[in-house]
Amino acid sequence: MGAAGPAGLCLALTLCMAAAEPGGRAAGKKVLPPPSNLRYSFRQLCKLKWTWNPPEGISSTCDLKYFTEVNGIQEENRKWTKELFREEDVPLNEEVHFKVRSECKSVNTSEPSDWVEISTSPKGVAGTAAVDINCIWHNLEYMVCTWLPGQNASARTNYTLYYWYDGLGSNQQCQNYIYRDNFGCNFSLSIPNSTHMYPPVSILIRDNLEEIRPVCAKKNPTTIVKPGPPRNVRVSKDENEICVEWQKPGTFPSHCLAYQVELKDSNSDYIWQADVIASNDTCFSNVHPNTMYTVKVRAKVQNICYSSNHWSDWSEEKSIGESMDSTFSIVLKLAIPLTIVVATIILLVYLKWLKILIYPPIPDPRQIIKRMLGEQIEDLQSFPEDYLLNDCGPVKEEEIHTLVWVESPESSTTGNEERERPTLQVKAL
């Protein structure tokens, strides 16, 4: 009895543990047959559809349902269904495992069937799929998606983007690509929906040669809305108050937008900010009369319509007011170019005088002679002809003197007597 007691206890514990295990089978219960002919196919871009046939020999009292599980997706991967199919968006750049089993939910007279499994294998080289995919829906008019190339992708890889959503019909290929620090593409996206419950947008990025792995991303448009900047910003000033008005961007309902208005003091660079909800104007009081202010506005959607947190770009800055030193600035702007002109003229005159001083001009001899001859001719022409003929007095006859050479005859005496020197005699004619 003592030996049989422990043996019976061990047997009971073994049966309890077997019943507690997930794969354990309770004694006396029938095991259901599994679904058959499990297969998959692609529906739209990234959507995968699994189908199967029901098991045979199922009792009419069995409330037959199928328990499915998908490994490789981020959403709820386990589901119960009575349908003979299941559709899910998959990333495509990773292996996806799908399995299904049959089970009677209303009665406990049978055990669930065994799992039936199937897997998909990704195409392309590992590490080449696009990464960091980000999309922004601008002003409910167009979407811009950007991404980075995979670490193993070639620098010459040409990515192609496709997009699709329920109601579009067939998938569309993006045409306007961006090649900067990262890759990107923008495409028109105007989804008509009055309730703002927009369908998710599926994005597929791949190459045409299937050398890189394709990658899929599903975007909820309501979470990535970015409105355009407010339009036609107008600023007015009344004594100590500045008022700002603008028009809403795009086709957003007025109650779906909130605004931020920024007023900046040009003298102190102090900034006032005002948050405005569901209105297109605001005012700032207690402003200084002799100060220049700049104003700009931006917009953001409200959570009652969309769940996006993207602010729009700032509108163009508008200025109003007059600074105390504005007159001085105007005078200074006019005086600087005028001073430059006067200084340039003085410098040119000084340089010309300095050149003359250092390098005096050399007179032209021809001009000097010409001037002297011209003066003599003018002097001769200025005297009367009668004066030249009569007033000069009687003409004196010139005396002509003749020079005669007289030589003395040689003396007959010789010795110490010297020859007499010849003499010159002048005779008047």
Tens digits of per-residue pLDDT, 95-144?
889 999 998 877 666 788 999 999 988 888 888 899 999 999 999 999 99
Contact 214, 92 (CB under 8 A): yes
Task: Give the pLDDT confidence score for residue 140 in this predicted structure.
Answer: 92
Judge whether residue 78 has pLDDT over 70: yes
Task: Give the pLDDT confidence score for residue 419 in this predicted structure.
Answer: 45
Question: Which CATH fold topology does 228-320 show?
Answer: Immunoglobulin-like (2.60.40)
Task: Give the pLDDT confidence score for residue 424 in this predicted structure.
Answer: 46
Query: Do 131-225 and 228-320 share a fold?
Result: yes
Contact 201, 193 (CB under 8 A): no
Contact 148, 179 (CB under 8 A): no
Task: Give the pLDDT confidence score for residue 181 in this predicted structure.
Answer: 75
Q: For 7-63, how does the pLDDT look when each residue is reduced to its tens digit (9 = 90+)? A: 333 333 333 333 334 444 555 568 889 999 999 988 778 888 999 999 988 877 888
Contact 230, 299 (CB under 8 A): yes
CATH class of domain segment(s) 26-120: mainly beta
Superfamily of 131-225 according to CATH: Immunoglobulins (2.60.40.10)
Judge whether residue 217 has pLDDT over 70: yes
For residues 215-239, average pLDDT? 92
Show me where the domains of the chain are located: 26-120, 131-225, 228-320, 327-359
Amino acid type, 280: N
Contact 133, 150 (CB under 8 A): no
Contact 159, 149 (CB under 8 A): yes
In sequence order, what E strands does 55-95 have? Answer: 64-71, 78-81, 85-89
Cβ neighbours of residue 266 under 8 Å, at least 6 residues apart?
A: 291, 292, 293, 294, 319, 321, 323
For residues 300-312, average pLDDT? 93
Task: Give the pLDDT confidence score for residue 196 in this predicted structure.
Answer: 59
Residue 154's pLDDT band (cuts 50, 70, 90):
confident
CA distance 350 to 360: 15
**Of residues 322 and 325, which shows the higher confidence score?**
322
Q: Which of 206-220, 371-385, 403-417 has the lowest mean pLDDT?
A: 403-417
Long-range CB contacts (within 8 A, 24+) of 422-426: 426/401, 426/402
Nearest to 241, CA basis, from 290, 286, 297:
286
Residue 292's pLDDT band (cuts 50, 70, 90):
confident
Token duo for residue 83? 């349908």
**Of residues 85 and 240, which shows the higher confidence score?**
85
